[in-house]
Amino acid sequence: MKGSCLCGCVTFSFKTFDSKIANCHCSMCRKFSGAAYGTFGTVKAENINWESGFELIKIFNSSQQAHRGFCSTCGSSIFYQLTKPNAPFEIALGLLETEPTESVSANIFCAYRPNWPRNIETIQNFEESRTA
Domains in the chain, CATH or no CATH each: 2-112 (2.170.150.70)
pLDDT tens for residues 36-89?
999 999 999 999 999 999 999 999 999 999 999 999 999 999 999 999 999 999
82 beta partners: 66
Neighbouring C-beta atoms of residue 37, cutoff 10 Å: 22
pLDDT tens for residues 89-113?
999 999 999 988 888 999 999 999 8
- pLDDT recorded at residue 117: 76
